[in-house]
Structure 1
């Protein structure tokens, strides 16, 4: 298994060797750590753990590319290894998140906390790394802004079983149009997926992000508006299929929200005066509390 870690603090080879041995429950003699400019012929390629170390510039100091042989068991996932490494080394460790923008990382501190971080690297020949934002304060990074990171939520992998079933039926009914960009069928599929993502995210109490950016919430309400408009452009059988898909989702949305009698949602996500009547009933209900 491979791991990619970055540390805020500079670490020497002996420290990295000792920490990896401790975290992976192997002897130090079974760990081979080398700088990037080390003569590769001098390395122990039969070691249970191989690690390439590179010094980098900016808010992080050390980059580690780690390979662990399959015979080493158990094999922690990247989050587990990063957290264990941070505690053992007394360091702040960053590791990439999966299936999200390349700037979105996780950050583990020496006291066991894990939070999100936004990390950029420059286009210089020797890149300079900048930790732009963290979602929770990190004592060793007092200069870094603390704020929620919207793009992490936008890229969350949220299961959409109703939308998936709709797509399967649509493909059987209209194989020549279902996947074609710009068609009403494709628009219906995309907007239904966005609407279901909002509802499933809400149903899960906004896990795993813990919140929803207001701009994203607005986009997904607007996706529901689009479904009303596109329904009239669909063939009768596809329109019927869309209605059947919407019924349980709309009912679940109503169940998970409260009547916005005080107009709180409209204050947070104001509508143009001449456009308010074009929006559906879902704009008159809101999560309690609002998720941002």
Structure 2
């Protein structure tokens, strides 16, 4: 199942034709109907698309499903790109674990990201916020935690010049000075070092 947000309105016929091509099924096996429509659907369709007209910065919400017998099942981002080009409008898809962050697939092909929120105000619908500032915020959040992670790693490791890692991954010790600093460290108490014949040694006093 695929879930899409369209930045603009769409034509049912164009959507149906696009899905027919993308899933490689004939048009008579594609159904595009409003979400609330129950009586006049094509119940023999193997590719179905329910749509809901949205408000605000989002025009349509689409839910697409291809039955198991449909052998051509495009990936979500691939199908979003096909729809974006054919409908000439950005298509938003889910991304990561945060429901308010969406990946935006543009008609020209270059993807970006956006924050999408549904307003609590009646009739306001969805709001799509600037993608460039969101990317900067995300980079800032990652940069903020890196020093703490580095410090914790240093606390739990010792610098051995990379000799232990070299025995595992292959580079010689002479190659490691040019590598990042964390390649030249090993755990302060490597697993198993304090175990002899299955009996854990008492810690030094």
Cα distance, 1:63 vs structure 2: 0.4
> Are residue 224 (structure 1) and residue 171 (structure 2) matched?
no
Q: Distance in 1 between matches of 2:15 and 2:79?
A: 13
- Asked if the contact 2:35/2:50 (under 8 Å) is kept, the reply is yes
Q: 1:104 to 1:254 in 2, by over 3 A?
A: farther
Between 1 and 2, higher relative CO (CA 8 Å, sep ≥ 6) is seen in 2
Provide the alpha-carbon RMSD of the alignment.
Answer: 3.0
Q: 1:226 to 1:131 in 2, by over 3 A?
A: same
Equivalences, count? 170
Q: Which residue matches 1:148?
A: 135
Q: Which residue matches 2:52?
A: 54
Name the SS for the 1:14 alignment partner: helix
> Are residue 102 (structure 1) and residue 99 (structure 2) matched?
yes
Q: Deviations over 1:73-126 (max 9, x none)?
A: 2211100000011112222211111x3311211111222222222211123466
- Asked if the contact 1:134/1:147 (under 8 Å) is kept, the reply is yes
- Asked if the contact 1:56/1:127 (under 8 Å) is kept, the reply is no
Matches within 5 A, 1:75-154: 75-97=73-95, 99-124=96-121, 128-135=125-132, 148-151=135-138
Name the SS for the 1:222 alignment partner: helix
Q: Gaps spanning 5+ residues in structure 1: where?
A: 136-145, 152-212, 232-241, 258-292
Q: What's the TM-score, normalizing by structure 2?
A: 0.70
Q: What's the TM-score, normalizing by structure 1?
A: 0.51
> Are residue 243 (structure 1) and residue 157 (structure 2) matched?
yes
Q: Which has the higher strand share?
A: 2
Q: Which has the higher helix share?
A: 1
- Asked if the contact 2:6/2:91 (under 8 Å) is kept, the reply is yes
Q: Distance in 1 between matches of 2:2 and 2:160?
A: 42
Q: Distance in 2 between matches of 1:79 and 1:113?
A: 11
